[in-house]
Amino acid sequence: MTNPFVILHLSDSHIGNPKHHPDSASVLRPLLSDLTSKAREIGAPNLIVFSGDLAYGQISGRPLADQYTEAKTWIDQVYKALETDYERSPILPVPGNHDLDSTQVGADQIEWVKSLKEKPSAVEEVQKLLQERGPHWTRILERQAAWRIFLGQIRHPWELNLDLNMLTGVITHGSKRIGIAGLNSSWAASPQLQTEANGTMWIGKFQLLTALEHIEETDFKIAVTHHPTSWLNQAEKNWIEQRIQSKFNVHLHGHEHSQWFIDTSTHLRLEAGACYQGADKENAYSWLKLDFERETADIQCRTYSDRGGGGWIAGQVPDKTDERGCASLIFPSKTRLQRPETLRTSATSSQAADQVEFTQELREYVATLQDRYGFRWERSSFRHETKLPLVYWPIRLRHPTLIHAVQCFAAAGLQRCGCDIALCIDELGHKDYSQEEFEKIIKRWFAIAGGDETKITTHACSELLEVDGSRDIWEQVKQWLGETTYTLDKVLQVSKLLTAETETTSSMEDFRRQRPRRLLTPAVVWTCMLYLHHPDEARPIVTLAGYDEKPLWQAWRDCSNVPEIKVGHLYAPELNQKSTSRGDKPIHMGTNEELAWESREDIMRSLENAIAAGASTDDWLDQHRLVPWAFRECVLLPAWLTGSQSGIVIDGNTINSILDLGRVDQTQLIRKLADELDRWLL
C-alpha cells in the first residue's frame, strides 16, 4: 500500500523588513513549533511548496541579498522543525512580486506593462517576447536575479529554465509520476504598479505550454504560481485559467493573503494564506494529503491567533472546513470527467427517492458544469449526502430569457442524474406575463436538453403559501426583517432594491418606483423551500439559480434557525453585459428587448450590439459578455448534454471554445451563432 502524498503549502512570509522585527518573530517562531507537531501527526511532507514572497523586497539599508540570507536560515529551520531534509522533502519556490529588485525596473518597462491592458495584440506581443528572448526580456528578468541566486543556494531536484525563471520536475510516488510546474507569474510585477497590479500580471502562453511539455508524461500534475489567475491581464486570463484547470489536477498559489480553496472532481485550487503579514492580521498555511489509492484529498488549514500568548491553531473557514480546520474533498482526478452519453435518459421520482447513494455521476456532472461551463457550486451545509437531493428551482414570473434557458439546461442534466426537480414560480404581484405560457417555454427548453418535462413538479408561490406556507412565512419574515442583524442597505441589496449599480446613482425617485413587496421576496422563497422540504426532512436540497441570487442564500444561512437542513447552491454563470437601451448600465432579465428574444433577427441585433459595444477594447470576448456567454451556455452546454455536434463551423473550421471566437470573421460569427441560438432557444 502506497502512503499518501503530503504537501506542505507555505507562502508570503515577507522576511527581511526591519520594521516588522520583532513582530514577525512572534509569528514565524511559533510556526516552527506548529510544523513539528503537525508533521508528527500527518507525516513529513513529500513536497514543500513556497508560493512566492519569501522576501520583503528591496528597501533602503536592507539589500535583497541580505533578506534572502535571513530567509535561507529560516528555511533551514523549517526543515529542522519538520525533522526531514531537502532530499526527502524537496522544496519548490516560485518568485512573488516582493521577490524582486525594484531598482532594476525601468520606467519604460512599467509603461509597457500598463500599455498591454489596452492593446488588442497584447497576447501575441508577449508570446513573441518570451519566445525570442531579446534584450527587452533579458532586462525584465534582471529584477528577479536575487531570487535566482537564492535558488542556487538551496538543494532542489527541479530543472530551472533560465529563460523564464520557471521550474519543472517529476516526483515518483509509488506507481505514480507527479509532474510539478513552478510558473513565474511575477515577471511583469513592480512596486510602482502595486496599486494597479490586478489585471497587469502575465504568465504567458509560451511559458505554460513549455511547462506542460516538460511534464507531459505524468499521471498527476501540480501547478504553482504566486498570483491567482484573477490577477492576470484580461487578454490572457481566460485562456490561462482554463488551461490550468483542465491540464493540472492541483493549483497552489499565494499573494492574496487569504486561506481559501475551491475544489471540483477534476481540479483543486488551494491558496495557503500568508505565513506573516502582521501578528494582528490573518496569517495562515496549509497541509494537503493526497491518497491515490483511496482517491481522497484532505486539507488541513492552520492560522495564527494573537490572543493570549499567541500561537497557531486550526484555521476554520466557514462552510468549508470543520472545527479542526479540516476538509475532505473530492479527489482531483482527470480520468473521471462525466460524459453526456453516460447520463440517464430520464429519472423517475421513485428512482431518486429510493436511491441510497449520492451517485458519483451527480458529483461528476456538477464538476463538469463548473470546469467547462462556468457554474459555481457552494456546498454550504450540503456535504457527502446519502440521498439524491431535491432540486429547488425558484423563478420569478416574467418574460422567459436565455438566462432562464441556461438554468433549464442545467436542471435537465440534474434530473438525468437522478434528482427530482421542483420548479417554484413566484407569480405574486406579476400580471404582465402568462404563467401558462411561461411554464410552456420553460418545459420546452428543459426537454431540448434531454430532460423529461412531464416529471417536473411545478408550484406557484401563492398556492404553497395558501395551502400550508402560513405556518412558516411569519417565522421567516420575523427572522428576515425583525431579527436579522443586517443593516438597511444590506436588506435592500438582498431584496434587489439596491445594487452596486444603483448604490451610487439612485435617487429617492428611483426607490419610489420600486415595488415594496420585494422586501418580502427572500422570506417567500425560503418559506416555499421549507414547505417542499417537509415531506422528507432527511433529504438534502440543491438550489438552482443565477449567480445574482448568491446574496439571497447567504442571507438565508445567516438568518435560518433550521441548520439541520442540508442545502447546497448551484449558480449559473454571471452574464455581465452592458445594455444599449439603459444608458450603458448592466443588462438584466427585465430588459426584454435585449434578452427575451422572439426571432432570429432579435438575436442578430443583440449580438451585433454586444460586439460593437466592446469592439475598441475587445472586452466583448470576456466570458461574462453576451457573445461568449451565449455561445458556451446556450450552444455548447445543451449540445454536450444531448450528445449533439457542438460548436459552430466557419470556413470549414469547427469553433468549440470561447477562446477561439476572436480569431474568426465577426460577420460570419454573428450569423452562425445566431443560427445555433435560434436552433436551441427558439
C-alpha grid cell for residue 653? 473550421
In a domain, 613, yes or no: yes
Instruction: For residues 230 and 234, give the distance between their C-alpha atoms in angstroms, rounded to a whole number.
Output: 9
**Structural domain of 625:** 592-681
pLDDT of residue 348: 39
Residues with Cβ < 8 Å from 181, sequence gap 6 or more? Answer: 166, 167, 168, 211, 212, 214, 215, 221, 222, 223, 224, 248
Q: How many domains does the chain have?
A: 3
Indicate if 663 and 599 belong to the same structural domain: yes
Counting Cα atoms < 13 Å in the Cβ hemisphere of 649 gives: 2
In a domain, 581, yes or no: no
Neighbours of 194 (CB within 10 A): 10
Instruction: For residues 673 and 682, give the distance between their C-alpha atoms in angstroms, rounded to a whole number.
Output: 13
pLDDT tens figures, 540-596: 899 999 888 888 888 888 877 665 688 889 999 888 876 665 555 556 544 445 777
- CATH number, domain of 298, equals 3.60.21.10
Indicate if 162 and 305 belong to the same structural domain: yes
Indicate if 273 and 358 belong to the same structural domain: no
E strands present in 427-572: 457-460, 541-546, 567-572
Indicate if 297 and 266 belong to the same structural domain: yes
Indicate if 34 and 183 belong to the same structural domain: yes
Q: Higher model confidence: residue 583 or residue 40?
A: 40
Whole-number mean pLDDT of the chain? Answer: 85
Coil, strand or helix at 201: strand
In a domain, 580, yes or no: no
pLDDT of residue 676: 92
Residue 434's alpha-carbon distances to 395, 398, 425, 441, in angstroms, are 14, 8, 12, 11
Instruction: For residues 377 and 367, give the distance between their C-alpha atoms in angstroms, rounded to a whole number.
Output: 8
The arithmetic mean of pLDDT across residues 134-159, rounded, is: 95
Which of 541, 572, 603 is the last residue before a domain boundary?
572
C-alpha grid cell for residue 519? 422586501
Region of residue 47 (left: phi > 0; alpha: psi -120 to 50; beta: else): beta
* Contact criterion met (CB below 8 Å) for 248 and 254: no
In a domain, 43, yes or no: yes
| pLDDT band, residue 410 (cuts 50/70/90) | very high
Asked whether the predicted pLDDT for residue 116 surpasses 90, the reply is yes
Write down the number of H helices and E strands in the chain: 23, 22
pLDDT of residue 154: 93
Q: Higher model confidence: residue 548 or residue 345?
A: 548
- Determine how β-strand 296-305 pairs with β-strand 284-291: antiparallel
Asked whether the predicted pLDDT for residue 345 surpasses 50, the reply is no
The arithmetic mean of pLDDT across residues 620-639, rounded, is: 90
Instruction: For residues 93 and 681, give the distance between their C-alpha atoms in angstroms, rounded to a whole number.
Output: 49
| pLDDT band, residue 19 (cuts 50/70/90) | confident
pLDDT tens figures, 250-275: 999 999 998 989 887 789 999 999 99
Please state, for a pLDDT cut of 70, what percent of the chain lies above it: 88
* Contact criterion met (CB below 8 Å) for 607 and 674: yes
| pLDDT band, residue 109 (cuts 50/70/90) | very high
Indicate if 194 and 270 belong to the same structural domain: yes
In a domain, 585, yes or no: no
Instruction: For residues 65 and 20, give the distance between their C-alpha atoms in angstroms, rounded to a whole number.
Output: 18
Instruction: State the amino acid at position 542 in one-letter form.
Output: V
- CATH number, domain of 557, equals 3.40.50.620
Q: Higher model confidence: residue 504 or residue 128?
A: 128
Backbone phi, then psi, for 480, in 5-degree steps? -75, -50
| pLDDT band, residue 350 (cuts 50/70/90) | very low
Indicate if 363 and 312 belong to the same structural domain: no
Neighbours of 442 (CB within 10 A): 23
Q: Higher model confidence: residue 509 or residue 7?
A: 7
- Determine how β-strand 5-10 pairs with β-strand 47-50: parallel
Of 282, 288, 290, residue with least CA distance to 315: 282
Residues with Cβ < 8 Å from 144, sequence gap 6 or more? Answer: 95, 99, 100, 101, 165, 184, 186, 187
Least confident among 117-126, 147-156, 463-472: 463-472
Give alpha helix (H) positions in 324-401. Answer: 349-354, 360-373
Instruction: For residues 619 and 648, give the distance between their C-alpha atoms in angstroms, rounded to a whole number.
Output: 21
Burial of 11 (0-12, 13-18, 19+ CB in 10 A): buried
Indicate if 290 and 362 belong to the same structural domain: no
Instruction: For residues 183 and 153, give the distance between their C-alpha atoms in angstroms, rounded to a whole number.
Output: 20
Of 93, 75, 71, residue with least CA distance to 84: 75
Please report where in the chains the cell 437522478 appears, as a residue.
418
pLDDT of residue 118: 83
Instruction: For residues 35 and 84, give the distance between their C-alpha atoms in angstroms, rounded to a whole number.
Output: 11
Please report where in the chains the cell 534572502 appears, as a residue.
68
Asked whether the predicted pLDDT for residue 315 surpasses 80, the reply is yes
Asked whether the predicted pLDDT for residue 503 surpasses 70, the reply is no
Please report where in the chains the cell 523588513 appears, as a residue.
17
- Determine how β-strand 220-224 pairs with β-strand 250-253: parallel
Indicate if 326 and 344 belong to the same structural domain: no
Instruction: For residues 613 and 439, give the distance between their C-alpha atoms in angstroms, rounded to a whole number.
Output: 33
Asked whether the predicted pLDDT for residue 339 surpasses 50, the reply is no
Give alpha helix (H) positions in 134-233. Answer: 135-141, 145-151, 205-214
In a domain, 479, yes or no: yes
Q: Higher model confidence: residue 377 or residue 166?
A: 166
The alpha carbon torsion through 425, 427, 432, 433 (nearest 10 deg) reads 20
Neighbours of 646 (CB within 10 A): 18
Burial of 598 (0-12, 13-18, 19+ CB in 10 A): exposed
Distance of CA 386 to the CA centre of its chain: 26
pLDDT of residue 196: 81
Which of 542, 572, 602 is the last residue before a domain boundary?
572
In a domain, 584, yes or no: no
Least confident among 110-114, 358-362, 546-550, 568-572: 358-362
Of 95, 225, 207, 226, residue with least CA distance to 151: 95
User: Buried b / exposed e across 161-174, counting CB within 10 Å, b at 16+?
Assistant: beebbbbbbbbebe
Instruction: For residues 635 and 658, give the distance between their C-alpha atoms in angstroms, rounded to a whole number.
Output: 11
In a domain, 578, yes or no: no
Residue 488's alpha-carbon distances to 124, 484, 607, in angstroms, are 49, 10, 38
Least confident among 339-348, 403-412, 563-572: 339-348
Residues with Cβ < 8 Å from 624, sequence gap 6 or more? Answer: 573, 574, 575, 576, 577
pLDDT of residue 563: 58
Indicate if 619 and 514 belong to the same structural domain: no
Q: Higher model confidence: residue 531 or residue 33?
A: 33
Which of 334, 363, 397 is the last residue before a domain boundary?
334
pLDDT of residue 197: 87
Indicate if 313 and 447 belong to the same structural domain: no
The arithmetic mean of pLDDT across residues 200-206, rounded, is: 95
The DSSP element (H or E) to which 287 belongs, if any, is strand 284-291
The arithmetic mean of pLDDT across residues 428-438, rounded, is: 80
pLDDT of residue 504: 44
Q: What is the DSSP letter of 661?
A: G
Instruction: For residues 464 and 467, give the distance between their C-alpha atoms in angstroms, rounded to a whole number.
Output: 5
Indicate if 42 and 138 belong to the same structural domain: yes
Q: What is the DSSP letter of 633?
A: I
Residues with Cβ < 8 Å from 497, sequence gap 6 or more? Answer: 511, 514, 518, 519
Asked whether the predicted pLDDT for residue 60 surpasses 90, the reply is no
Coil, strand or helix at 60: coil
Q: Higher model confidence: residue 490 or residue 110?
A: 110
pLDDT of residue 633: 94
Q: Rg for the chain (alpha carbons), in Å? A: 26
| pLDDT band, residue 39 (cuts 50/70/90) | very high
Residues with Cβ < 8 Å from 378, sequence gap 6 or more? Answer: 319, 550, 553, 568, 569, 570, 571
Greatest alpha-carbon pair distance for the chain in Å reads 76
* Contact criterion met (CB below 8 Å) for 438 and 629: no
pLDDT of residue 507: 54
The arithmetic mean of pLDDT across residues 520-544, rounded, is: 85
pLDDT of residue 586: 56
Residue 2's alpha-carbon distances to 47, 84, 277, 295, in angstroms, are 16, 19, 37, 12
- Output the DSSP codes for 250-263: EEEE-SS---EEEE
Instruction: For residues 543 and 45, give the distance between their C-alpha atoms in angstroms, rounded to a whole number.
Output: 39
Asked whether the predicted pLDDT for residue 121 surpasses 80, the reply is yes
